[in-house]
Amino acid sequence: MPNPGPRRWLHVARDAVQRSVRTAAELAQSSHIRLGVTGLSGAGKTVFTTAFAHALAHLRNNPAELALLDVAMARDRRIVRVALEEMRGLPRFPVEENVRKLLAAMPAWPEATHGLSGVRVVVRFAPRGLVGRIAEEAVLRIDIVDYPGEWLVDLPLLRQDYRLWSIATWNDLANEGTEEGRALGRAWREAADAAPAPGGIDRRALSYGRLLRELKGDRFGWSWLTPGRGLTWSEQEWLASGCAFFPLPPEALASGPTFHALNQRFNRYVDTLVKPFYRDHLRNLDRQIVLVDLLGALSRGPDSFHGMRRALGAILAHFRYGGGWRVLRPLLGRRIARVMVAATKADLVTEGHRPALRSLLRETVDWSVMEKLKDYQEVVQGRTHYAVACLASIASSTEEIGQHGEIEFRLLRGRAFGGGGEEEKIVPSPVPPSLPKLAAWPARGFKYYLFDPPDLSAYAESAFPHYGLDAAMRFLIGDKVR
């Protein structure tokens, strides 16, 4: 009788080799993406993240309807399963709760974000090609962090100290924006033209906070004023943080107890709030979508539009682009390999105006690469893939043809914003294809109207109606699901 010992040993060895080849193949095909969703407050980050996670979670259910990622992949049913998980150390981003509110009989947009939260979307799929023959399954993990847009505006503080910040802010309050906004800034400066005694610091901080709110509000929409938490926190939270600061007149920026106290508060704010936020959630991104609410800024007027442009420019200077090789990451840190810049809420204009929206976006974002994107919607520069797009994460309107006498025109139909479900028809303003100059702003302004979300009850198990979400997903993660 042959001795079974060596043969059994051979079987065990072969199984072990096969298993490790399979694991290596799965690992080679698996990836982990930190997807940065970047945008000022109200740009559409929370709606995007909700729609993105909801679409992926139901990718298996509606392959035909959704041209997401790679059509063949969905059609071949190669998506094995998708799960939404928490990210360690962060409260869970409430995808399900946001979806529930959107699916309700009286659907509602998610509320403005007040703190940090995160979600990990885990996509298990059957890889294609040689790897597919060896490995049964690969995994794509996508991490997204949501935060209040106001926190982004603080990034320039990382490169300033209190003295520099104070001089620049004091100056901007009187010289930026339109005359009406400036008048408000000047009035505050006149009332605050000397350093307060140490006992009056908190009172002055509160009055600066109120000025920020007024200038940030719909009337002016100055989105670049700092500190951002002065806007998102209540007055009590702001004072209790021990970080409530404000600018002093330049001649008061000498030593003295008030200057010293404000300097300390500024440093505490940057060290305990701005730096950790940047280090933990913004510095090490792999992919990024920059959401820009051009239509909202145009509607609010020139202060808002040009202020948004300025804030965006200062923020984007803090991200590191350049893609790069995985093996060099420990040495060089992560760099963003793919970035899409998208004009959000594109459903608030008719289709014919979206090319103008895209071209306005190219001029608004002050990157040299945007020039190349004039002719192409995607380019590669310095090992980073760039794309420019129009996006409606959730389309709230449908387009119709209206008639006035002999003349036909395009209009939008949707549920009036805050109108209890009432439908209305709207003709939005044309979109200016290039930067409107402050002095040449149209007298009646630009009018784009928000809608309430539409009836989404049919979409509990499938992606919401959208414009361009599939293209965004394909660009941002499609190459990782092969």
Ligand X SMILES: Nc1nc2c(ncn2[C@@H]2O[C@H](COP(=O)(O)OP(=O)(O)OP(=O)(O)O)[C@@H](O)[C@H]2O)c(=O)[nH]1
Nearer to ligand X, 78 or 466 (CB): 466
148 part of the interface to ligand X, by CB under 6 A: yes
Span 158-197, contacts to ligand X by CB under 6 A: none
Q: Are 284 and 334 in contact (CB under 8 A)?
A: yes
Q: Is 394 in the site for ligand X (CB under 6 A)?
A: yes
Q: Which of 45, 58, 354, 385 binds ligand X (CB under 6 A)?
A: 45
Q: Which of residues 20-39 bind ligand X (CB under 6 A)?
A: 39
Residue 109 contacts which entry, Mg ion, ligand X, none (Cβ below 5-8 A, type-dependent): ligand X
Query: Which residue carries 């929206």 as its tokens?
Result: 357
Among 30, 38, 49, 113, binds Mg ion (CB under 5 A): 113
What is the distance between the alpha carbons of residues 429 and 296, in angstroms, rounded to a whole number? Answer: 12
Which residues lie below 8 Å from residue 401, measured CB to CB, with a gap of 6+? 408, 409, 410, 411
CB of 390 vs ligand X, minimal distance in Å = 11
Which C-beta is closer to ligand X: that of 192 or that of 392? 392
274-281 contacts at long range (C-beta below 8 A, 24 or more positions apart): 274/151, 274/154, 274/155, 274/157, 274/158, 275/158, 277/116, 277/147, 277/151, 277/154, 278/155, 278/158, 278/318, 281/116, 281/145, 281/147
Cβ atoms within 10 Å, residue 133: 10
Written as six digits, the tokens of 311 are: 């804030």
Q: Which two tokens stand for residue 188?
A: 């505050």
Q: Find the binder of ligand X among 101, 345, 353, 415 (CB under 6 A).
A: 345
Using CB under 6 A, pick the residue from 33, 36, 42, 471 that binds ligand X.
Answer: 42
Count interface residues toward ligand X (CB under 6 A). 24
55 versus 201: smaller Cβ distance to ligand X: 55
Provide, rounded to whole angstroms, the least separation between the CB of residue 285 and ligand X. 17
355-381: b (≥16 Cβ within 10 Å) or e: ebbbbbbbebbebebbebbeeeeebee
113 lines the binding site for ligand X (CB under 6 A): yes
Using the rule CB under 6 A, is 209 a contact of ligand X? no
Burial (CB count within 10 angstroms: exposed 0-12, middle 13-18, buried 19+), residue 77: exposed
What tokens were used for 109? 């947009």
**Do the Cβ atoms of 160 and 172 come closer than 8 Å?**
no
Which segment (44-52, 89-97, 167-175, 378-386) binds Mg ion by CB under 5 A?
Answer: 44-52
Given the complex with Mg ion, which of 30 and 46 has the nearer CB atom? 46
Q: Is 46 in the site for Mg ion (CB under 5 A)?
A: yes
Q: To which residue do tokens 């505050």 refer?
A: 188
Segment near ligand X (CB under 6 A); pick from 10-18, 161-169, 342-350, 365-373? 342-350
Q: Is 300 in the site for ligand X (CB under 6 A)?
A: no
C-alpha separations of 176 from 166, 182, 184, 261, 307 in Å: 15, 6, 11, 27, 9
393 scored as a contact of Mg ion (CB under 5 A) = no
List the one residue from 36, 63, 110, 156 that touches ligand X (CB under 6 A). Answer: 110
- Asked if 451 touches ligand X (CB under 6 A), the answer is yes
Q: Of residues 73, 226, 396, 473, which one binds ligand X by CB under 6 A?
A: 396
- Interface residues toward ligand X, by CB under 6 A: 39, 41-47, 109-110, 112-113, 148-149, 344-345, 347-348, 392-394, 396, 450-451
- Interface residues toward Mg ion, by CB under 5 A: 45-46, 113
